[in-house]
Structure 1
Amino acid sequence: MKYQKTVGFILKRVDCNDGVASHCETLIRGLKAHGWRIVMITGPVFYDSTSITRFATLKSLVEDWVTFEKINPLVPDFSCLLKIYQTIRKYEISLLHAHGYSMLLIARILQIFTQIRCVATFHPSIHGNDPKLLKEKALQVNHLQYQFYLGLFTPDKFIAYSSEIANFLTQDLNFPESKVSRMLLGIDTDLFRPPTAEERCLARKKLNFQEDELICALVGRLSWNKGHDILIDAVRQLRTEHSITNIRCLFSGSGHEEKQIKDYAFQSEEDQFYFHFMGFTEDLRDIYWAADIFVLPSRKEGFALVVAEAMACGVVPIRTPAGGAEDQIEDGVNGFIFPFDDSETLVSQLKLLSNNPQLRKHLAAQAYKTAQQKFTLEKMINDTIAVYEQASLKGI
């Protein structure tokens, strides 16, 4: 196949309200600026009235968007494979980027007929209706299953968006380091930046927060995996056991567990004041600019792009040691890391920050410095293109 700067993004599904869709939008913009064309090949697309703008934006950025009502990645049907094959030929796609390792079987079948190359990224997450079971589920990693599947359908290159994922591939699964390209996700640091005093005041006024209140933000899909219950428990404990009543929580996101999480938060009339749910938010700057602390108690992550965005806005990050934590936070230097499902440690960290404005200011400045040094959009795009070109040229 003639080498073209055209890549097909292949995903099992697209949720326009989550971080994968946000990353795809950022990546596509950067690739287009360097002369690449992108074709989306996906299973069902989900959006609502709050996230339809992202869907429209993604659609406007790509050459075409081929969708299927359902893609079975383990037993793909002939009509699905034929349609993808025809799309590859039509747009002279030279490379598939599988967002999620489950799509690698489809990529391997297509490679037999087209000689197309493939790179793959992981976006690990877990799902479930019972938060108490998710901790155990997160720890149950079937290494043999991963080794068998990924060994059988190995892409030309793995892109690891965090040190944790890179270590999982090379150390736990024993893939050669030459197969794995570690690169950190990038953000638009011109967009995500610390607010001026006026911008911070306006953001707080817009969200009905007072200047003397301590605002904790959590941006993420309303899923028990994100650990909303851990932050809710911690704030409730700060109020009742430590008499810290100026703390309020701001949640941004939507998802299938929305009703359950809200029911967990709103157990009294008083809770209506302390916990504020905004739904999915297209422009997150007001949230970051109004916040003092960004908390992400996730049980499983790939990188957690929202943490990098918050850091770039000068917000103190606190998170669990899920994917990306090692790259984002040096504990006690530019933020804090606390153990999974450990609301007690989170309480201690929030109490410390509540009582020490100077420490908050220092950690926020260090978080901003880290974001400027490590999470640049330009580096991510350049690194991605280098991997694409390396993989694509193998097929010439």
Structure 2
Amino acid sequence: MKILFIVMRFGKDGLATNILDLTKGMVEKGHEVHILTSGYKIKSSNNTEFFDNLKSEFQHLGVHMHYFKEPKGNAIKKGIQTILSFSKVMLQVKKINADVIHCHSPNMTFVPWLLGKKCVSTVHADTITPNFRYKHPTLLIAVSEGSKEFTERVMHSPEESIRMVYHGIDERFAEVEDAATLVALKEKEHIPTDKIIIGVVGRITPMKGQDVLANAIGKYLSPELKEKIHIVLLGDYESNGSKEWFDTFLKDNRLQNQITILSFRDPKPYYQLFDVFVLPSRSDTFGLVAVEAMMGGCCVIRSNSNGAYDQITDGENGFIFPMDDEAALAKLLEKVLTNEDLRSKLGVAARKTALEKFTKTQMINNTLEVYKELL
């Protein structure tokens, strides 16, 4: 089967991780994968290791990469570039002549629509709104119950076109790192060895809610408990404004000396450094990093953004708190930070859930079933 993924651009996010895993699975099953994209969202301040590895992976897999120029500039320049770029996109899609077109960027669904071709699209964000470029795909993949509800309510997607396929992750996240490796990693990144580590993974922006965690710790935890913790944040600032925004919360809560911020890279070994993983997001379609942490055997606390109730049975394999509720998060943190046995019990149950429900193999097989419906 010849499969075409249409992606507006790749960023340092769960979308890139998901597409890479999907690509690996399809190639391993003998399918030919093409990717049509404007490229990679690289900022001048970015560590490019993530994108370099992504490009290398695609090359190693034998993926056919096709590029177009993303329209930029003033209205006139952008208008001209739009005509040229999307004329090229249309020609490329016709030339590739894929058996399956999978749009990972909803605003690119107009391309197969204009060509009269069937397509699949996945809802990767719950911040999009319908516009003239969005056309209902033949089949739409929702990745959580919340994203399904969003597509019906906001995107007005016909219920009969929606298929549920949970995001899945590579089972390598369940592989246990040896103690010496973790000690060496802590030393390398100057992470204290005598503190309880609270981990966060994701780009630093108000949407991801890192301020909620900072306030929960600074305003509600006792000084004695606060002294016992250290935060490790794996992610890049969305913008210079994001850095100023987050620095304010760190300063207000006197956490500047209790946090290590690292540019985003493969998070796999870090999940096993974390004693507690927190996902305080204000917006998500699934929360892929929570499942990665679960498979890594981490004690997970997350907000009730989309994906939470698909992943976690509250109190059994993790905890869920109401979005933006700093006091509720603090109460859960106190519960797990003061009870190592509870952290361990929740981590074991979380790994079991992730391996039963959220593997890459399951995602690949379920996605292929959707593709077969399209043919």
Structures share a fold, TM > 0.5?
yes
Residue by residue, what CA displacement relative to the aligned partner does 1:256-282 show, whole Å, maximum 9, x if unpaired?
23422442244279633211101121x
Which residue identity is paired with 1:53? D
Aligned match of 2:56: 57
1:278 is aligned, of 262, 281, 286, to: 262
1:178 paired with 2:174, answer no
Query: How many residues align structurally?
Result: 363
The range that moved more, 36-45 or 293-302, is 36-45
Question: 1:186-335 counterparts in 2 under 5 A?
Answer: 186-238=168-220, 243-257=225-239, 258-267=242-251, 271-281=255-265, 283-335=266-318
Question: 1:59-208 counterparts in 2 under 5 A?
Answer: 59-60=58-59, 61=61, 62-70=63-71, 77-111=82-116, 116-126=117-127, 146=130, 153-170=135-152, 175-208=157-190
Q: Cα 1:69–1:100, aligned 2, differ >3 Å: closer, same or farther?
A: closer
Alpha carbons 2:126, 2:147 under 8 Å: kept: no
- TM-aligned CA deviation for residue 53 of structure 1: 1.9
In the alignment, the residues of structure 2 paired with residue 236 and residue 269 of structure 1 have an alpha-carbon distance, to the nearest angstrom, of 5
In the alignment, the residues of structure 2 paired with residue 154 and residue 245 of structure 1 have an alpha-carbon distance, to the nearest angstrom, of 52
Q: Cα 1:194–1:238, aligned 2, differ >3 Å: closer, same or farther?
A: farther
- TM-aligned CA deviation for residue 174 of structure 1: 6.5
In the alignment, the residues of structure 2 paired with residue 121 and residue 76 of structure 1 have an alpha-carbon distance, to the nearest angstrom, of 26
Which residue identity is paired with 1:255? Y
Alpha carbons 1:238, 1:351 under 8 Å: kept: no
- TM-aligned CA deviation for residue 79 of structure 1: 2.9
1:10 paired with 2:13, answer no
- TM-aligned CA deviation for residue 305 of structure 1: 1.0
Alpha carbons 1:222, 1:261 under 8 Å: kept: no
In the alignment, the residues of structure 1 paired with residue 201 and residue 232 of structure 2 have an alpha-carbon distance, to the nearest angstrom, of 8
Aligned match of 2:368: 385
In the alignment, the residues of structure 2 paired with residue 288 and residue 119 of structure 1 have an alpha-carbon distance, to the nearest angstrom, of 33
Gaps of at least 5 residues in structure 2 are: none
- TM-aligned CA deviation for residue 311 of structure 1: 0.4
Which residue identity is paired with 2:115? L
Which residue identity is paired with 1:33? E
Q: What secondary structure sits across from 2:347 in the alignment?
A: helix
In the alignment, the residues of structure 1 paired with residue 349 and residue 158 of structure 2 have an alpha-carbon distance, to the nearest angstrom, of 35
Gaps of at least 5 residues in structure 1 are: 127-140
Length-normalised TM-score, structure 1 = 0.83
Which residue identity is paired with 1:56? K
Q: Cα 1:292–1:106, aligned 2, differ >3 Å: closer, same or farther?
A: same
- TM-aligned CA deviation for residue 149 of structure 1: 6.6
The range that moved more, 64-73 or 40-49, is 64-73
Q: Percent identity?
A: 29
In the alignment, the residues of structure 1 paired with residue 154 and residue 252 of structure 2 have an alpha-carbon distance, to the nearest angstrom, of 46
- TM-aligned CA deviation for residue 106 of structure 1: 2.5
Alpha carbons 2:68, 2:89 under 8 Å: kept: no
Alpha carbons 2:71, 2:85 under 8 Å: kept: no
Alpha carbons 1:7, 1:95 under 8 Å: kept: yes
Q: What secondary structure sits across from 1:96 in the alignment?
A: strand
- TM-aligned CA deviation for residue 63 of structure 1: 0.7
Q: What secondary structure sits across from 1:267 in the alignment?
A: helix
The range that moved more, 24-33 or 168-177, is 168-177
Q: What secondary structure sits across from 2:191 in the alignment?
A: coil
In the alignment, the residues of structure 2 paired with residue 149 and residue 98 of structure 1 have an alpha-carbon distance, to the nearest angstrom, of 16
Which residue identity is paired with 1:360? R
Alpha carbons 2:173, 2:292 under 8 Å: kept: no
- TM-aligned CA deviation for residue 172 of structure 1: 7.1
Q: What secondary structure sits across from 2:30 in the alignment?
A: coil
In the alignment, the residues of structure 1 paired with residue 339 and residue 192 of structure 2 have an alpha-carbon distance, to the nearest angstrom, of 18
Q: What secondary structure sits across from 1:218 in the alignment?
A: strand
Q: Cα 1:177–1:240, aligned 2, differ >3 Å: closer, same or farther?
A: same
Length-normalised TM-score, structure 2 = 0.87
